[in-house]
Amino acid sequence: MTDKTTVGVDVGGTFTDIVLLRGDRLVTAKVPSTADQSVGVMEGIEKACERADITPSTIDDFAHAMTVSVNALLEEDGAETALVTTEGFRDVLEIGRQNRPSLYDFGADKPAPLVPRRRRFTVSERATPDGVVQPVDADAVRDVATSIRDSGATAVAVCLLHAYAHPENETTVADILDTELDIPVSVSHEVLAEFREYERLSTTVADAYVTPAIDAYIGQLADRAAEAGIPEPHVMQANGGISDAATVRKHAVRTCMSGPAAGVVGARASVSDLAADRDLTGLVTFDMGGTSSDVSLVRDGSIEKTTNAEINGRPIKTPMVDVTTVGAGGGSKGWIDAGGALRIGPESAGADPGPVCYGRGGTEPTVTDANVVLGYIGSSTSLGGELSIDVGAARDALDALADEAGLDSPLSAARGMYRVANATMTRAIRAVTLERGFDPRGFGLVAFGGAGPMHAVALADRLDIGTVVVPRACGVLSAFGLLAADEKHDAVRTHRQSLSELDVANVESAYAELEASVREECSDPDAAVLTRRADLRYAGQSFELTVPAAQPFDPEAAAHQFHAAHETTYGYQMDEAVALVNLRVEAAIERVDPRVTYDAPGDAVIDQREIHFSDGAYPTAVYDRERLPPRETVSGPAVLEQDESTVVVPPAWEATVRPDGSLVITEATP
């Protein structure tokens, strides 16, 4: 086993998680996230290195997931962005689609466009899917550049009509703006060479909107890393693959949902053999952190992806790990609405001041405070190995909430918060299973995040899921996933034609160009494994399904793949012609999933305390999880503590330690 040292760092809304792997030795750490995320990242790396008894300069590889881009979109504090588009299409960004976010709510508002009308500029030009009809006038573009400069914009998006098919005019505009302006320029045919004007425009604007923040952050982090002798970071993308820093600085929108994607990759890598071993349909990944909970699926060993994501109500059509997020995390605040009902989130206490029990100035009760009152987290629990818990402060905060809600005790308020949070997360799991035609009873639930293992069995019980898995590095699994992530690059091009009329030579030529473009982005083009896919639909449909594509492209095989995928997804096939819509290529440089040694000494019981479950209070043994030997079974009720997370095993359930240190929790045999 080599002594190569790799480190993965994931920045969350509350904590920054670190996993360091030296050979087969795993070291973890967790520190509060900081306003300047790079500060917390370096503090976390130094803490992990201290625990591993090494210096940061001995790190060989550094992978990173962060929240800079998604925070900019959620908080709407990105760049002052300008837009250049075709004359007559200035307001496409604001008009969007006619569908309403809430069908029966006539007062529901769509989010405001990221580019106000005063910073949207047009040029006289025209292209069709068949070619350029009217070239763009260079002098007119220079005049637009002057207007952009006068507007104070710090980034610009260029999205011209049908540039996905014929980008010549768009390239001319971008080249002139690059020359005339000293600000980043995002170009639609480079960001998303795909038809549907609004979605392409929205994605390109999002790329421009987050580019300055990503560019500044990655540059600052790379400088801090270099000062410590650490290599430049590879960055997790939304597609579940890492890329070099230069690529993500050029295509910043690809980093949206970076952290949640890393968590799903970590879940798959940690328990990749479990589904087959236990004859499960697949795995539901459940990541409950400090601010939110993220849910996704792994089926047939593959991570579910989407190209139809929305962030804060705005379409982002780059390939992403398909994650459903709800505002229920450990730091989510409990409150009483105007009707007197107890609610949870989406507002979070974050890392500063954090939950009341942290003793850092928080005053409003959170889900973590409720878990303290229930006994799941005790006064002796040390979060992150350092942060002590103030049980009295948590109880006082829940007492105040109980008074406001008309409840009889802090315990009643804590039970209520726990149930409401669980109901919110149960709906998220139903959304990715039942609402997509999958029976959750056939899946295993993989729980991680700082708070996930405390709630996982209660969720499984509500959904009749019989197997819960808690990976060994559950509290920092997104950081662990960074060590398992392949390098990945995606490209797409619209090619609309009925399969019955398809010119296969033209399709092969287009695929070849896409393959060349993704190879160029790879760190080692010769090592890249290329995968072809195609978006297909029935004639007249307005949506597509993505299926594997043979090489060379085979229209008959593609149609067969599509019919099967349509029946799996929607329950039926149609006797209609099948049309090709988009060509997709993915390049991946595969990495071996990290494997670590696990050898625990035993004698794991460290405490006993009264803990409250749904059917009453129980005297409960508390274990040091890192001391539980492989193949040992712990019967509930039990609490298993480790530095970054706590596992709760209710009565009538039992947890068995796998050889790699992960836990399998199942209903106890009568």
Q: Work out the pLDDT band at 80, boundaries 50, 70, 90.
A: very high
Q: In the predicted model, what is the mean pLDDT of residues 647-669?
A: 93
Between residues 292 and 181, which one has the greater pLDDT?
181
| Residues 6+ away with beta carbon under 8 Å from 401 | 334, 335, 336, 342, 365, 407, 410, 413, 417
Q: Which of 63, 94, 335, 387 is nearest to 225 (CA)?
A: 63
pLDDT at 13 > cutoff 80: no
Residue written as token pair 């039926």: 572
List Cβ neighbours of 286 (8 Å cut-off, separation of 6 or more): 293, 294, 295, 425, 429, 445, 446, 447, 448, 449, 452, 456, 459
Q: Does domain 487-589 have CATH number 3.30.1490?
A: yes
The pLDDT value recorded for residue 1 is 44
For the chain, domain boundaries: 80-183, 487-589
Question: For residue 167, is pLDDT > 60?
Answer: yes
Tell me if residue 165 falls in helix, strand or coil: coil
pLDDT at 383: 62
With a cut of 80, say whether residue 387 has pLDDT above it: no
Average pLDDT, the chain: 92
Q: Give the start-end residues of each E strand in 135-198.
A: 155-159, 185-187
Residue 563 pLDDT > 90, yes or no? yes
pLDDT for the residue numbered 195: 93
The Cα–Cα gap between 51 and 546 comes to 45
What's the pLDDT score for residue 382? 63
CB 663 within 8 A of CB 469: yes
Q: Give the mean pLDDT of 397-409.
A: 93
pTM of the model: 0.91
Contact 640, 661 (CB under 8 A): no
pLDDT band at 386 (very low <50, low <70, confident <90, very high): low
Nearest residue to 344 (alpha-carbon basis) of 324, 323, 371, 322 = 371
Say what percent of the chain tops pLDDT 90: 76
Q: Report pLDDT digits (tens) over 210-264.
A: 999 999 999 999 999 999 999 999 999 999 999 999 999 999 999 998 999 999 9
Question: What are the pLDDT digits (tens) for 488-532?
Answer: 999 999 999 999 999 999 999 999 999 999 999 999 999 999 999
Q: What is the pLDDT of residues 652-661, one digit of tens each?
A: 999 999 998 9
**Residue 254, burial from CB neighbour count under 10 angstroms (0-12, 13-18, 19+):** buried
Residue 669: the pLDDT is 79
Bridge partners, residue 623, by sequence: 605, 640
- Among 583, 588, 586, residue whose Cα is nearest residue 511: 583
CA distance 470 to 467: 10
What is the DSSP secondary-structure string of 293-345? EEEEEEETTEE-EES-EEETTEEE-S-EE--EEES--TTEEEEE-TTS-EEEE
In angstroms, the CA 90 to CA 88 distance is 6
Q: Strands 616-624 and 638-642: what pairing?
A: parallel
